[in-house]
Chain A
Amino acid sequence: DIVMTQTPFSLPVTPGEPASISCRSSQSLLDTDDGSTYLDWYLQKPGQSPQLLIYSLSYRASGVPDRFSGSGSGSDFTLKISRVEAEDVGVYYCMQRLEFPFTFGPGTKVDVK
């Protein structure tokens, strides 16, 4: 199985400031057949179900503010928030869907300082 890791475990943020979360996979998530990288980012706000933020490395899901961006390549990925807002608190998960079983990272808890 592909193992996903995330850093940091916890991230205190200041509203208006940028923030970034790293995610790494135990093997490349690049599908050489179609050129897509199968790495997604989800945010689980307190008391809510997860919501899709970024799919296939860098595509924002419908309705996701443009302050969120995804980047990276191969097995090293980053989620960036250009200016954190109070509503961005929660646990962020990366997930690979290159192959089954899909696997999630352990999560990064983002809260306001």
Chain B
Amino acid sequence: QVQLVESGGGVVQPGRSLRLSCAASGFTFSGYAMHWVRQAPGRGLEWVAVISYDGSNKYYTDSVKGRFTISRDNSKNTLYLQMNSLRAEDTAVYSCASGARNIDDPFDLWGLGTRVTVSS
């Protein structure tokens, strides 16, 4: 079964860190670029970051640059998002998504997401 399953969300205080994971199954994970997309409560979709199939290229939205790091372990079929210096405005459901080999391909597979709440 082709699927993406996120985990690692929770409630965290401002300034603290959290690492999200996205476990892939049913397809050749190592051949696909992977993205993180988030959705704040009651808001629309916001693209967060992308990593190439081999991890050599990464891009981020401006608001998370220097704070978030996207990475992957192809031996474990898992995508990660290390989130440091968290802010209230990072509160959202974080979903991973994949398209195809290229980092600029459309997203045809999405996970259900994991909720992150940043609050004191």
Contact = CB atoms under 8 A, between A and B. Distances in A.
A58 interface: no
A61 B105 CA distance: 12
Interface string A73-112: 0000000000000000001010101001111111100000
A55 B106 contact: yes
B110 A105 contact: no
Given A93-B44, A101-B62, A52 B108 contact: yes
A94 B23 CA distance: 27
Report the contact-size class of chain B (Cβ under 8 Å from the partner): 20 to 34
Given A52-B106, A52-B107, A104 B44 contact: yes
Contacts, number: 52
B104 A50 contact: no
Contacts of B35: 102
A20 to B, nearest CB: 19
Interface residues of A, number: 25
Interface string B27-41: 000000001010000
B85 interface: no
A52 B37 CA distance: 14
Contacts of B95: 49
Contacts of B59: 100-101
Interface in B73-107: 95, 104-107
A62 interface: yes
Contacts of B45: 42, 44, 50, 93, 95, 104, 107
Interface of A: 1, 38, 40, 42, 44, 49-52, 55-56, 61-62, 91, 93, 95, 97, 100-107
Given A97-B104, A100-B59, A101-B59, 14 more contacts: A1-B62, A49-B95, A49-B111, A49-B113, A52-B107, A61-B106, A62-B108, A93-B45, A97-B105, A101-B60, A104-B45, A106-B44, A107-B44, A107-B45
